[in-house]
Structure 1
Amino acid sequence: MGARIVSLVNQKGGVGKTTTAVSLAVALARRGQRVLLVDLDPQANATSALGVLCSDRPGVYDAILDETPIAECIARVEEEGVDLVPSSAELSGAEVELVPVLARERRLANALQPVREQYDWVLIDCPPSLGLLTINALTASDSVIIPVQCEYMALEGLSRLMETLELVRRNLNPGLSILGVILTMFDPRTRLAQQVVDEVRGHFPQTFATIIPRSVRLSEAPSHGQSIFRYDPGGRSAAAYEAVASELLERVGVAV
Structure 2
Amino acid sequence: MRRVIFNQKGGVGKSTITCNLAAISAVEGKRTLVIDLDVQGNSTQYLLGGKVSDSDRTIAHYFKDCLSLSLFGNNNNSGLENAIHETPFPNLYVIPSHPDLEPLQGRLESRFKIFKLKEGLDNLRGFDSIYIDTPPILNFYSQSALIAADKCLIPFDCDTFSRESLLTLMQTISEVKADHNQNLTIEGIVVNQFQKQANLPRQLVDQLIAEGLPVLSAMISPSVKVRESHSQAQPLVHYVPNHKLTDEYRALHAEIHGG
Q: TM-score, normalised by structure 1?
A: 0.91
Q: Is the 8 A contact 2:30 2:91 kept in 1?
A: no
Do structure 1's residue 62 and structure 2's residue 61 form an aligned pair? Answer: yes
The CA deviation string for residues 103-142 of structure 1, in whole angstroms up to 9 with x for no partner, is x210111121221x31121110011000111110011111
Do structure 1's residue 168 and structure 2's residue 176 form an aligned pair? Answer: yes
Out of 87, 109, 120, the position equivalent to 2:118 is 109
The letter for the 2-side match of 1:59 is T
Out of 183, 200, 203, the position equivalent to 1:195 is 203
CA-based RMSD? 1.6
The CA deviation string for residues 80-122 of structure 1, in whole angstroms up to 9 with x for no partner, is 53110000111122322212213x210111121221x311211
**1:169-248 correspondence to structure 2 within 5 Å:** 169-248=177-256
Cα distance in 2, alignment partners of residues 16 and 204 from structure 1: 23
Identical pairs, percent: 29
The alpha-carbon distance between structure 1 residues 152 and 28, as it changes in their structure 2 partners (threshold 3 A), is same
Q: Is the 8 A contact 2:45 2:233 kept in 1?
A: yes
The letter for the 2-side match of 1:228 is L
**SS at the partner of 1:226?**
coil
What is residue 126 of structure 1 aligned with on the other side?
Answer: 134
Cα distance in 2, alignment partners of residues 79 and 110 from structure 1: 27
**SS at the partner of 2:164?**
coil
The alpha carbon displacement at 1:205 in A equals 4.5
The letter for the 2-side match of 1:45 is N
What is residue 31 of structure 2 aligned with on the other side?
Answer: 34
What is residue 93 of structure 2 aligned with on the other side?
Answer: 83
The letter for the 1-side match of 2:20 is S
Cα distance in 2, alignment partners of residues 6 and 14 from structure 1: 19
Q: Is the 8 A contact 1:9 1:125 kept in 2?
A: yes
The CA deviation string for residues 117-174 of structure 1, in whole angstroms up to 9 with x for no partner, is 3112111001100011111001111110111112232212112212221221221111
Cα distance in 1, alignment partners of residues 83 and 202 from structure 2: 42
The alpha carbon displacement at 1:52 in A equals 5.0
Q: Is the 8 A contact 1:215 1:237 kept in 2?
A: yes
The letter for the 1-side match of 2:135 is P
Cα distance in 2, alignment partners of residues 40 and 202 from structure 1: 33
Gaps of 5+ in 1: 251-255
Cα distance in 2, alignment partners of residues 204 and 57 from structure 1: 45
What is residue 165 of structure 2 aligned with on the other side?
Answer: 157
State which structure, 1 or 2, has the greater radius of gyration over its C-alpha atoms.
Answer: 2
Q: Is the 8 A contact 1:154 1:196 kept in 2?
A: no
The letter for the 2-side match of 1:57 is D
Number of residue pairs matched by the alignment: 246
What is residue 19 of structure 2 aligned with on the other side?
Answer: 22
Q: Is the 8 A contact 1:127 1:133 kept in 2?
A: yes
**SS at the partner of 1:84?**
strand
The letter for the 1-side match of 2:191 is L
**SS at the partner of 2:160?**
coil
The alpha-carbon distance between structure 1 residues 65 and 158, as it changes in their structure 2 partners (threshold 3 A), is farther
Gaps of 5+ in 2: 67-77
Q: Which moved more, 1:43-52 or 1:160-169?
A: 160-169
Whichever structure has more strand as a proportion of its residues is: 1
Out of 8, 11, 19, the position equivalent to 1:11 is 8
